[in-house]
């Protein structure tokens, strides 16, 4: 039995080191346990392999049954919690048109040939998830709400700090010490009461990523670490959800649209491996000019509105780099990699 438990520990340890999804690790564990049960049932009692794996199938069936009971209990508890939770703030009844107040609010959009009434209606029905309520998330969230995107989710496990206020313009001094998602939600509701806000005060991890992203039409990633960026990319590829990802440092920022399901590369195609931490210092280590997140975050919002309304030419298959210090911008072509471990064989596969 010790050998089996050691193999299970190896599956979870190696899987965690390789950042494999928890679902994949559970599947491998289940296959191992199924093989052990079959060995106990098929092999003769004096077989060495059967003896090394416990020698009695009843013990394994008892352990598996106990595990199944724990799983069922957790599922039932989660279902009860969801029923007992208050109605979500995004449970808005569907509407066929806009109120007079909304028509006045969105008049400049509706006048645009590329948006018009159909485009504004598409925005009102859209669901966009923003990962990170920091420098990039701040302007992106504000402009998504101002533009009338119907449902906006924001996930972040951080709290507002004094050092954030130099560039994270969605937060206010009075919210120092409060969750960023709470501060951002309040600002968005004050800006536009016609949109629904879904705050998630927690870290995005592999356990919830795919389930969460499946509920949205588009994801904007403005997080500050590569582990989360690659996780968001994997989940978006799995759910066929377009991803707009951006990053900033000091005076420079970059932004791209990653959408292999519709002919573009994924984030891992363009950035196969994370750079050495010493080569990409954080904003806290290297500094950042205050308006730069506003510039790149606003670009994220523009690309989001274009993606949702079908206006213009987006950044699918292109990477835009903006150098604020020298007032220069350039665009690089990007392409899907046939050997990409994340999206190979996904979608159209043509950039």
Q: Annotated catalytic sites, by residue?
A: 283
d(CA 346, CA 296): 28
The label of the residue with tokens 């790149």 reads 296
Kindly report the length of the chain: 351
> If 0-12 CB within 10 Å is exposed, 13-18 middle and 19+ buried, where does residue 46 land?
exposed
Bridge partners of residue 129, in order along the sequence = 153, 219
The label of the residue with tokens 């970059």 reads 254
Bridge partners of residue 245, in order along the sequence = 221, 256
d(CA 143, CA 139): 6
50, 52, 58, 60: CA torsion to nearest 10:
-120
Q: Name the residue among 279, 264, 283 with its Cα closest to residue 349.
A: 264
Residues 6+ apart with CB under 8 A from 50: 39, 40, 43, 44
Q: Would you list the DSSP string of 6-43?
A: HHHHHHHHHHHHTT--HHHHHHHHHHHHHHHHHHHHHS
Stated as kind and residue range, the H or E segment containing 168 is: none
């Amino acid at each position: 039995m010790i050998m089996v438990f050691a193999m299970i520990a190896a599956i979870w340890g190696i899987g965690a080191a390789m950042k494999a999804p928890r679902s994949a690790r559970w599947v491998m564990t289940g296959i191992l346990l199924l093989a052990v049960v079959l060995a106990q049932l098929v092999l003769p009692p004096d077989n060495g392999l059967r003896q090394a794996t416990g020698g009695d199938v009843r013990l394994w069936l008892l352990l598996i049954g106990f595990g199944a009971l724990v799983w069922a209990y957790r599922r039932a508890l989660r279902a009860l919690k969801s029923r007992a939770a208050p109605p979500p703030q995004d449970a808005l009844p569907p509407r066929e048109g806009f109120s007079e107040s909304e028509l006045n609010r969105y008049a400049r959009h509706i006048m645009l040939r590329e948006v018009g009434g159909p485009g504004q209606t598409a925005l009102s029905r859209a669901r966009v998830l923003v990962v990170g309520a920091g420098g990039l998330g701040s302007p992106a969230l504000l402009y998504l709400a101002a533009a009338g995107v119907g449902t906006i989710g924001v996930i972040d496990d951080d709290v507002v700090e004094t050092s954030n206020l130099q560039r994270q313009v969605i937060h206010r001094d009075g919210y120092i010490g409060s969750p960023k998602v709470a501060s951002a939600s309040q600002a968005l509701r004050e800006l536009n009461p016609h949109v629904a806000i879904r705050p998630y005060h927690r870290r995005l991890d592999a356990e919830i990523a795919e389930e969460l992203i499946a509920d949205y039409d588009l994801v904007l990633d403005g997080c500050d670490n590569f582990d989360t960026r690659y996780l968001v990319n994997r989940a978006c590829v799995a759910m066929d959800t377009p991803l707009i990802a951006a990053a900033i440092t000091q005076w420079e920022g970059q932004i791209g649209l990653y959408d292999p399901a519709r002919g573009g590369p994924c984030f891992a195609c363009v950035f196969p491996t994370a750079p050495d931490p010493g080569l990409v210092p954080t904003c806290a280590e290297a500094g950042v000019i205050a308006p730069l997140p506003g510039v790149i975050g606003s670009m994220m919002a523009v690309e989001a509105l274009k993606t949702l309304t079908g206006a213009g030419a987006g950044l699918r298959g292109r990477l835009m780099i903006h150098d604020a210090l020298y007032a220069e911008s350039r665009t690089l072509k990007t392409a899907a990699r046939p050997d990409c471990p994340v999206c190979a064989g996904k979608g159209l596969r043509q950039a």
